Structure formats: structure tokens, C-alpha cells
Structure 1
Amino acid sequence: MITGDHAVTAGAIGEQLHLGPGAISGRELQALSDEDLIARLPQLHVFGRVSPQDKLRLARVMQRQGLVVAMTGDAVNDAAALKQADIGVAISSGSEVSKQAARMILTDDNFGTLVHAVEIGRRVYEKVVAYVRYQMAQLLSLVLLFVAATAFNVNSGVALTPPMILYLLFFVTVAGVVMIAVDLGDPDAMHRPPRDSKVPMTNRSAVTYWVLYAAVMFAAAFIPLVAGPDEPSPDRPSASMTMTFVVMGLGTVFNALTNRRDPASGLTPPILDVLAIAAIPVILIITATEVGFLQSSLLTQHLTGREWLACIALALALPLVIESAKWIRRRHATIPATIDTQHAVAPVRAIPGSR
């Protein structure tokens, strides 16, 4: 909390709000060098009797440490710090200067709205990342499948027929996108520190996981093509190529189901709505192998119960790898100390004597 009030008054208010110990006045702040200020910042939570220059300096020092800085204010003297912060938030009842300098304006003057806006932003970004991760794993697996079929001359280089690929893209893959879009998002999104804005979406770690997931899906689909119950053919229905098609289809559904959240498990609730959507592409995959006109168009055929079980087992390799990788990362992640954000901004906390 940064305020023009006296440091003693500000410290008393900060104590009521449980902001943490450590109050300092603007005069004491000005006496500190930047290095000393950086060393003491973790123990400082309240700043009183500060000038506009002090607010601007605090924002710059925090940014120099690589921190994401948000600043709220309503007065003219807040404008410089609002402009400097990564996101400046003005109060609608404040001055026009502060609103011009800010990137966001709280129209209802409710800090709870700010928390909700940050939560929405995080979940939207996570959906975009999940969509890219899902699509890249999907497309790379298809590329690997055809490259391997061509390199090893499997089925004359035809891993799937063109109608099979179009069927997967238009009906199965699209359903996966819908599964990601309707997901409510990770409930722990606000309990994680802000992401590093300097790390792009296509960073080394992300690309590594894309390739890993694609390799698993490719391997699962390639096995029935080379070791299926019959000889695959590019111009007539075969059980081997049909199994490859089914494994790719089921793998696509599992890919969307588990990759819709990261690092949280994709199997955490609420999941019933997502499973209802996932049932649609599964039914379409079954239909593609059982309905006559689709069999002749896609070059698929009826599969036995054992062949279906084999397809399901192979397709399950992808969600097993995805969930295992996320579990390992969660185990090794450093969980920072956090507070309940909804409790922190609850209006009832403004009432004297409340907690």
C-alpha cells in the first residue's frame, strides 16, 4: 500500500488489512539506495508520506527485478507511476489525468472487479496456449505419421487416405477445440505467480512437449499400420489402416481432454460438460467404421472387439504421458506463499473489527 498519509496511520490500516509487517515513510525511502531498497522490499508492505517520484521509483525498482507491476491510483500525482507500471489501473471517480495514463479503468471502483479481470485474463491466455499446444501436437503427429510411412515404404507411403484426414480435421479435431473453449479454466489460476512476459508462447519447453506428445500419438497410430491384423492397402479397406484411423481419432479426443489445462490435470472437475462434448467425436469415429457409405468413402471397415480394445489401449498412451508429465512438473514446482484473493478484497474487511 502506497499512500500520502502518515506512515504510522498507513501502518495501522495495513495491519488491519493483514498486508504484512514493514512500514516506511517517504523520507526513509529516499534515504535508501536502490540496492538497499531491493534488499528490503520483501519486508516492506506499507509506504506512507510518499511523493509521485517515490511511486515512480518503486515501480521501476520492482520492474528491474523482473516483477510484473500493477498500480492503482486516482489522483493527478499517480499518473507517472500508472504509466510506468506494466498495468496501470485508474479509478473511474478519479482524475482525468490518471485515467488517461492508465491502461484499465475500474468503472465500479471495486477492487474485487480488478481481481476478477486478472483471473479472466489469465484463463483466456491459458486457453490460447492450450489450443496451440493441442493443435501442434495433432499436426506434428500427422506429419510424423506420413514421413515415417514414406521413409519406410509402409503401405506405399499412405498412412491415411485423404478422406480420413479430412474427416478427422473437420469432425474430430474441431470437437477438441470446442472442448478447450468451453472449459471453465484452472481453478488455481490465481494462486500462481504471474507468467514471465519475456517468455514467448513458443519457448523451448513448450516446443519440447509439443514434439513429445506428437511422437507418442504418432507411435501409437503407426503400430497397427505396421503390425496390424492384415496387410494395409491404399485403395481398399483394411483393418490395419482402419485401426490407425481410429487410434488417431481417439488420440485427438484424449489430447483435447488432457491438454485443455496445464499444469493442472485435465481430468479434474468440472468435467461432465467436456465429456459430453467428447462423446460426439467418439460416436462419429465409431460411425465412420460401421456405416456403409462412410466405409466406402473413407476406406474403413468393421473392427472386432479385440481390435477396438487394442485401439483404445494405444490411444490411451497419449493421455498417460501428458498427465504423467504434468504430475512430475507439479511435484517439482515451487509453490509460493499466497493469500485468498477473494477474501483479501472482500468489502466486509473494511468494517472495523472484521477479519
Structure 2
Amino acid sequence: MAEKGGIHVDSARELFPRVAEVPFDAEYKFMATFHNMTDEQGKPVVRCCVKGAPDVLIARAGYYWLPGRDPAAVTDENRKLALAENDRMAAAGERVMVVARRDFDPTTFDPKGNLLDLVQDLTLLAMVGIVDPPRAEAKDAIARCHSAGIQVRMITGDHAVTAAAIGHELGIEGQALTGAQFAAIPDEQLKPQLDQIGVVARVTPEDKIRLVTMLQQKDNIVAMTGDGVNDAPALKKADIGVAMGITGTEVSKGAAVMILTDDNFATIVKAVEYGRNIYNNLFNFVRFQMGQLVAYITCYLLAAFFFVLGGVPFAALVILFLNFLISVPVAMALGFDKPTSGLMDKKPRPLKQPLLSTSQWVRIAFLGILMAIATVYLEAIYEEAGVTTAATMGFVAFALLSISRGLSARSETETAFDRDIIHDRNQMFLYSMALLITILATELGFLQRLLGLTSLSGDQWRICIAAAIALLLVDEVIKVFLRSRLHDVKAPVT
């Protein structure tokens, strides 16, 4: 601002050296510096230059400056006018700051004394409104948080009216409180009110820690962003402390577990989406692998009970082959799948919710048992044609059923018959590789000899393919019921 007014800052600092200072603190909300200068009459003085919160400095003022005139006394009447103007500027979303001064006699001024008590009886010079517009992407990022079930709160040192105006502009709705109002609410009353609080202004470090603690007591996962030294305790207390990499202090960076290199809130939202995709892929991977495990165990139980292929549905090498060369590519496809649509429209899962619920385990077991029944049944009916043919039918059926199960496991509720997989080269490659390996195992001579398999006829292949498609359709029916139930839950009550 001084540069815009034609003052060269470095030259001014050399001309008027700083002899003492009162550093900014959130408790008293201003900063003061003391300089050797001369007043308007040319008399040497130590001038105290103050900048800070309007309400604080107006309360500490005794006079206000008028161009070309002597300072006028601050009265109750004009103090109300100043505070009203502060509220008007703050309501427009401007960050308001007051600058003031006071002169001291150099012969009696003690730079090592209690300087805080000297910042009284000030002469107000100006009230400055600073426009700091939010980034264009911030509003969209906050809207995405809301759709994802993430509540965003603003805790700031700004004036409450300014904070409320900026919060409204960003889409942060809810009650706006000052730090004093927030601190005055007892814990037992505050907990039920937390969901309705959107903005807390003029906060102290203790207020921030209290807010984080109260949210955690309600089983929330709390992420806290900050850049200052006074943010460090709350950053440390939060489940995820996020510091600013550009403007953040070293103390705040040390207390955080994540540092934003671009100081952009939208990056946090991208990180949430990335984390949800990782979790979703892990969830799909676990569902697939557990289904495979159930299918393997059930195959051996059924083969032993009905004495199919001597109670051994797969040779040892066939098990290894299926596990490492068929299941692994499918599992990799699930683990590295692209984000599904609507991932940021889902509410966060409860903190204590297990990875797999009871109903999900039942579904996994049901589909795994179906895989085993189809596999062992085909081995049983083709055992009369020869042990090698029966073993091959079991191998091909299980491999195709695994591929089918992988395609269906890409989403718990959405259909597998979409076209997005066609446009994903990695997915196409991995599923095609699993299918190709299945074919090569039954057609290449050295693999036939190694695994104890043989070639199949076209009709036999079609039977195995039909079994895989049937399993896919069964899971599609389950998904239809799940989507219907989710739709009923989301439908508004009229």
C-alpha cells in the first residue's frame, strides 16, 4: 500500500529506523513499531505506528486525524460511526484494518519497557478495506465437499462480519460466531450446536483446539488447515493437519502431516477424491480376492464330498497357475482402476465401519459358492469323457468365472455392462491378458503337459463362457436390488 502511495519502503525504513516493536498476537490483535522521527514542528519524537483490528484500536484511541486540522477527540458518538463503517465494509467482504499513531518523548522512552501498555490514547489515521477475493476454484471445491458429505468450517482471525460475508460467498453457510461467543458456550451445549456453526471469527489458538476436540468427540475425522504459528497446536491435534507450503511458517509445517505446495484449498479436495478412489479400489480388490478364496475352498469341499476327480478339483500347478496368472491380472485391474463416477457424491463411511459388512460377506460367499458349484459340476459331468478333459473344463470354467467376477467387482452397485472399460487401455490389457493366458494354457503343448490339460471343443468353450455370463447376470440382479434400495433411501419423504 505504501508503494502504491509513492513511498519507497526500503528508503523509508532506512530514514526512520525501528527502535522497538510489539509483535502481532491474536490475543490483542494488533502490531506496533516505534521509530525515531520528527513531528510536524520538526521536534524529535519516537513515533508509535500501529496497525490492527478496527474494534480494538478504536477502543484504544483518544483522537482521530483530520487533513489540515488538529486531531479531534474520539467521542462515544463518533466511535459508533467508526464501528458502523467498519461493519459496513466488513459486510461487503473486505478485510478491514485501522492504522494509528502516538508520539513519545525520546528522552523518556524506554524501548525495553512494557510497550504494550503504551499503545493507548492513539490517534486514528485511516480505516483500510482490503479486498482479498477467494480463488475462483475455491467455491466449486467447497461445493464438492458438501456433496461428498464433508462439512467445511471457516475459523479465522478476521472480523465476524467479514468472515460471515466471505463464508456466504464461498457457500459456507451456518451460524457465524466470534471467538468470545464460541468460548462462552459450555461443552454440553456446544456439541448439539456444532453442525449449525459455519464460521468462527476472532479465534484464539485455544478456540481452534477446542473446536477440533469437540468434533473428534462426535466421531468425526477432522482435517485442519493453517499457516501461522498459532495454528500449530490445532494442526497437531487434528486427525489430518494441513499446512501451507508457500505462506506457512516452519512451525505450522512441522506440526502438520500434509503440506500443500500450492496453498490451494482445491488441492485438498483433489486429495480426498484420490484417497476415496484408492479406498474404493482396495475395497473392490478385497471383495474379489475373498470371493476367490471362498470359491477355492468350496471347490475342494464339493469335490471331496461328491468324489469328483478323486476329491482334487485342481492339481497343485493348476492352482498356482490360476492364482498367479489369472487372478493376479484381474486383481491388478481392480487395484489400478480409474475413479468411478459419483465417487464424490457419497457420504463418508462411519469411522468404526469395517471394510466388509455382514451383508457384503454374505454376497461374497454366495457368489464364491456359485463359482465352485459351476466348476465342480462341469468337472463331474465331463469326468466320463476323461480325467484330462474334466480337469480342463474345471480350469477354463474357473478362469472365465474369475474374469467375469472381476468385471462385476469393479463396482458394488453399478452395472458391469458399461462402455468405459473399452476406453481404458490398462483395463483392457489386463483382462485380455487373463483371457489370453487361459486360452494358451489349453492350446500350447508344453503348457498342456505341465498342467495336465487338453484342448477343448467349441461347444465346451461355449458352455464355460455361458457359465461365466450366468454368474455375471446373477450379480447384475443383485445390483439391481441394491440400486433400488439406495434409491428408496435417498427418496425424500412427502
TM-score normalised per structure 1: 0.84
Given candidates 162, 166, 180, the residue that maps to 1:13 is 166
How many pairs does the alignment contain? 333
Q: Report the 3-state secondary structure (helix = DSSP H, G, I; strand = E; otherwise coil) of the residue aligned with 2:156.
A: coil
- Contact 1:155–1:232 (CA under 8 A) maintained in structure 2: no
Q: Which residue is equivalent to 1:187? A: 341
The structure where strand makes up a greater share of residues is 2
Who is 2:197 aligned against? Answer: 44
How far is the alpha carbon of 1:213 from its aligned partner?
A: 2.7
CA deviation string 1:163-206 (max 9, x = no partner): 32222123211221231233112232222222334334355444
Instruction: Identify the structure with bigger relative contact order (alpha carbons < 8 Å, sequence gap 6+).
Output: 1
SS in 2 for 1:88: strand
Tell me the SS of whatever aligns to 2:384: coil
Secondary structure of the 1:71 match is: strand
Q: Percent identity?
A: 39
1:21·1:43 contact (CA, 8 Å) conserved in 2? yes
Instruction: Report if the CA contact (8 A) 2:225-2:235 is conserved.
Output: yes
1:300 partnered with 2:444: no
Counterpart of 2:444 (choices 271, 291, 294) is 291
**Matched residue SS, 2:348:** coil
Equivalences for residues 12-91 of structure 1 within 5 A:
12-91=165-244
Match of 1:342 in 2: none
CA distance in 2, matches of 1:232, 1:197: 55
Q: In the aligned structure 1, how far is the partner of 2:413 from the partner of 2:267? A: 26
What secondary structure does 1:105 align onto?
strand
C-alpha contact 1:23 1:45 (8 A) present in aligned 2: yes
Task: Find the counterpart in structure 1 of residue 481 from structure 2.
Answer: 328
Shift of 1:278: 1.3
Q: Secondary structure at the match of 1:24?
A: strand
Deviations 1:224-283 (A, max 9, x none): 123x245265xx422x33222111000111122221334544444530232343122212
Q: Distance in 2 between matches of 1:38 and 1:283?
A: 59
Q: Which amino acid in the other structure matches residue 410 of structure 2?
A: R
The structure with more helix, counted as a fraction of residues:
1
Give yes or no for the alignment of 1:247 onto 2:400: no
| AA aligned opposite 1:72 | T
Is 1:316 matched up with 2:469?
yes
CA distance in 2, matches of 1:23, 1:332: 38
* Cα 1:39–1:252 shift into 2, 3 Å: same
CA RMSD, Structure 1 to Structure 2 (Å): 2.5
Matches within 5 A, 1:225-244: 225-226=379-380, 228-231=381-384, 236-238=387-389, 240-244=390-394
1:258 corresponds to: 408
CA–CA separation in structure 2 for the residues paired with 1:119 and 1:265? 22
Note the residue ranges of structure 1 that are not aligned, 5 or more in a row: 338-355
What residue in structure 2 maps to residue 216 of structure 1? 370
In terms of Rg, which structure is larger? 2
Query: Conserved in 1, the CA contact under 8 Å of 2:175 and 2:199?
Result: yes
Q: Are residues 301 and 262 of structure 1, via their aligned partners in 2, closer, same or farther at CA, if it must alter by over 3 Å?
A: same
Measured in 2, the distance between the counterparts of 1:131 and 1:325 equals 19
Task: Report the equivalent of 2:104.
Answer: none
Question: Equivalents in 1 of 2:333, 2:202: separation in Å?
Answer: 51
**What's the CA shift for 1:3?**
0.9
2:302 corresponding residue in structure 1: 148
Partner in structure 2 of residue 349 of structure 1: none
**Following the alignment from structure 2 to structure 1, what is the Cα–Cα distance between the partners of residues 356 and 336?**
24
- Secondary structure of 2:225 counterpart: strand
Go from structure 1 to structure 2 and tell me whether the alpha carbon gap of 1:22 and 1:266 turns closer, same or farther (over 3 Å shift). farther
Matched position secondary structure for 1:109: coil
Q: Whole-Å Cα distance in 1 between the matches of residues 455 and 248 of structure 2? A: 69
Distance 1:18 1:196 in 2: 25
Which stretch shows the higher mean deviation, 9-18 or 274-283?
274-283
What is the alpha-carbon distance in structure 1 between the residues aligned to residue 173 and residue 476 of structure 2?
Answer: 37
